[in-house]
Amino acid sequence: MRLSAPLYRLKRQARVTARAKSIPLNQALNAIAKAEGFSSWSLLSAKMSKSEPGARLLEHFSPGDLVLLAARPGHGKTLMALELIVQAIKSRRRGSFFTLEYNEIDLIDRLKAIGTDSSGLEARFLFDSSDSICASYIKSRLDFAERGDVVVIDYLQLLDQKRGNPELSVQLAELHSFAADTGVIFIFISQVDRAFEMSGRSYPSLKDIRMANPFDLKVFGQICFVHDGEIKLEPTDEVA
């Protein structure tokens, strides 16, 4: 069955409706699901997870990988990152979400938007929104880390904005070494420069990654672009 819009757009529509009508998000999600021919959002989400690229994306990543997940605002990169965590937890691994952007209420709302109840993740899920987030802090919180665990950092460009933190390239090298030692998969949410929207191109590329402070893209094994509900994986081995 084909939806009237990509799943991430339906989720965003539900959030807008929930705010406008002052109703719970799950009620807005269920209303959209019924309009799409499903009795509930959970059934719609379960059905689409079998066919959407996000459900299979984790299979492309290997233990020890550093992955860049990049998109312009509103294209679903945070939801995609959370879906990857949920998929990892479903396969008996752990997931961690380090963020300088969201609080716990925001997180619960976004998990609901992908059809997930946060209470079911607690034993294998770490959420951290500390102002102290940087490479050394992240490592200190992952003393339980095991091979194949998924760690999302939201977002890359904020890691070195706090005065006193090492520059971004140094932090990436530190986390790259940690990933190699532990087998943890790091997924860094990243911004795409707004100039892309004026480029006339249909999809972002490596040159569109926002780099306020220089770093070597080759530290990432793969770069995953999300745009208009589609996913494109791009290797970095040909970066000049």
Buried b (16+ CB within 10 A) or exposed e, 226-237: bbebebeebebe
Percentage of residues in the chain having pLDDT higher than 70: 92
Question: What domains appear along the chain, each with residue ranges and CATH number?
Answer: 7-49 (no CATH), 57-235 (3.40.50.300)
pLDDT range class, residue 8, cuts 50, 70, 90: low
pLDDT range class, residue 178, cuts 50, 70, 90: very high
What is the chain's mean pLDDT, rounded? 86
pLDDT range class, residue 7, cuts 50, 70, 90: low
Cβ atoms 165, 171 nearer than 8 A: yes
pLDDT range class, residue 183, cuts 50, 70, 90: very high
Question: What pairs with residue 153 in β-bridges?
Answer: 98, 188
**Per residue in 188-224, pLDDT tens?**
999 888 888 888 888 888 888 887 777 888 899 889 9
Q: State residue 6's pLDDT score.
A: 63
Which SS3 state, helix, strand or coil, does residue 104 take? helix
Question: What pairs with residue 67 in β-bridges?
Answer: 187, 222
**Per residue in 62-117, pLDDT tens?**
999 999 999 888 888 998 999 999 988 988 899 999 998 899 999 988 888 887 88
pLDDT range class, residue 41, cuts 50, 70, 90: confident
